[in-house]
């Protein structure tokens, strides 16, 4: 597609408004967090990051976010495949249910998990705990980031011609071999883009995790929950330090997303 530059003052004004809007929502918060974190130098930040409770919060945040991303990648590709390649009764309902995490309040989602898996809950497990434990954190992160992989892979999958797959089946290829050699090369950019979005959403989740895990310091407290507690404890340096770490990761994810989006647009075009 040929790019068209601004030709009149109104178009230039709209571009400036977009840049100002982006600066207010992205650049200003990043600057505020960075300035607050290094207000007293780097030593307080180093001391915060060396704290055992902080390291534990960061570790479970990244580990459980990666687990949630792997789960959503596996099931997201399956969901996208079923919705794109299969026609069945109730398909419209399934397609709508995939988007529930977009409109469902994370706090309500966390409370729903307590109702289902908590003490005397409808599906209370007998051998291990889900609520106020690690499985609850993974479940919450998985739920809130569920749609991203399927919604990124689905349009790409629907745009692929089905004839090469049918030809592979005719030649005796297995379904797994066909998917890996014929389909995957066409959707891998969408998969990676969905993975990046899923990871970003999982890392930043607060509401559902705070409710279902209880935020037990040193046990089920994640990085976002540590920031919340540090603010209440008037530990500004601690809150700013962890926010700076999460912000740096977010900026890195944003750069990866921009690169993948450019690659995906080229592939779709």
Per-residue pLDDT of the chain (269 residues; tens, 9 = 90+): 455 666 778 888 888 898 888 778 777 777 877 787 777 778 888 888 899 999 999 999 999 999 999 999 999 999 999 998 888 888 899 999 999 998 889 999 999 999 999 888 888 887 888 999 999 999 999 999 999 999 999 998 888 888 888 888 888 888 888 888 888 888 888 898 899 899 999 999 999 999 999 888 889 999 999 999 998 888 888 888 898 888 888 888 878 877 877 776 776 66
Phi-psi category of residue 234: left, alpha or beta, with phi > 0 → left and psi -120 to 50 → alpha: left
CATH number of the domain encompassing residue 84: 1.10.3720.10
pLDDT number for residue 126: 76
Query: Is position 57 within any domain?
Result: yes
pLDDT number for residue 128: 84
Query: Is position 34 within any domain?
Result: no
- Provide the angle, in degrees to the nearest 10, between the axes of the packed helices 134-144 and 184-204: 120
- Is the separation of the CB atoms in 217 and 235 below 8 Å? no
What is d(CA 63, CA 56) in angstroms, rounded to the nearest whole number? Answer: 10
* Secondary structure (3-state) at 31: helix
Query: Is position 37 within any domain?
Result: no
The count of domains in the chain is: 1
Query: Is position 50 within any domain?
Result: yes
- Is the separation of the CB atoms in 212 and 114 below 8 Å? yes
Residue 251: CB partners within 8 Å, gap ≥ 6?
A: 30
Residue labelled with tokens 């534990």: 56
pLDDT number for residue 3: 55
What is d(CA 97, CA 88) in angstroms, rounded to the nearest whole number? Answer: 15
Query: Is position 25 within any domain?
Result: no
φ and ψ at 175, to 5 degrees? -65, -40
- Is the separation of the CB atoms in 122 and 115 below 8 Å? yes
Question: Domain containing 88: what range?
Answer: 44-268
- Is the separation of the CB atoms in 213 and 222 below 8 Å? yes
Query: Is position 27 within any domain?
Result: no
What is d(CA 128, CA 26) in angstroms, rounded to the nearest whole number? Answer: 42
pLDDT number for residue 39: 77
Query: Is position 182 within any domain?
Result: yes
Query: Is position 14 within any domain?
Result: no
Q: What is the pTM of this model?
A: 0.86
């Amino acid at each position: 597609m040929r790019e068209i530059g601004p030709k009149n003052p109104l178009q230039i004004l709209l571009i400036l408004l977009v840049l100002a809007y982006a600066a207010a929502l992205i650049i200003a918060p990043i600057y505020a967090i960075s300035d607050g974190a290094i207000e007293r130098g780097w030593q307080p930040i180093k001391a915060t990051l060396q704290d055992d409770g902080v390291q534990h919060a960061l570790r479970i945040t990244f580990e459980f976010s990666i687990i949630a991303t792997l789960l959503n990648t596996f099931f997201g590709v399956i969901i996208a495949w079923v919705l794109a390649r299969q026609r069945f009764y109730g398909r419209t309902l399934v397609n709508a249910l995939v988007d529930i995490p977009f409109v469902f309040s994370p706090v309500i989602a966390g409370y729903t998990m307590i109702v289902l898996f908590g003490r005397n809950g409808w599906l209370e497990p007998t051998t291990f705990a889900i609520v106020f434990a690690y499985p609850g954190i993974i479940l919450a992160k998985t739920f809130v980031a569920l749609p991203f992989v399927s919604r990124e892979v689905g349009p790409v999958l629907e745009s692929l011609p089905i004839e090469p797959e049918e030809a592979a089946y005719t030649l005796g290829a297995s379904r797994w071999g066909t998917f890996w050699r014929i389909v995957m090369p066409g959707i891998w950019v969408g998969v990676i883009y969905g993975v990046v979005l899923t990871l970003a959403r999982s890392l930043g989740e607060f509401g559902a995790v705070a409710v279902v895990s209880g935020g037990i310091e040193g046990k089920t407290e994640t990085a976002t929950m540590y920031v919340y507690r540090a603010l209440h404890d008037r530990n500004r340096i601690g809150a700013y330090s962890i926010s700076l770490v999460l912000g740096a990761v977010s900026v890195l994810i944003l750069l990866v997303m921009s690169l993948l989006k450019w690659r995906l647009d080229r592939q779709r075009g």
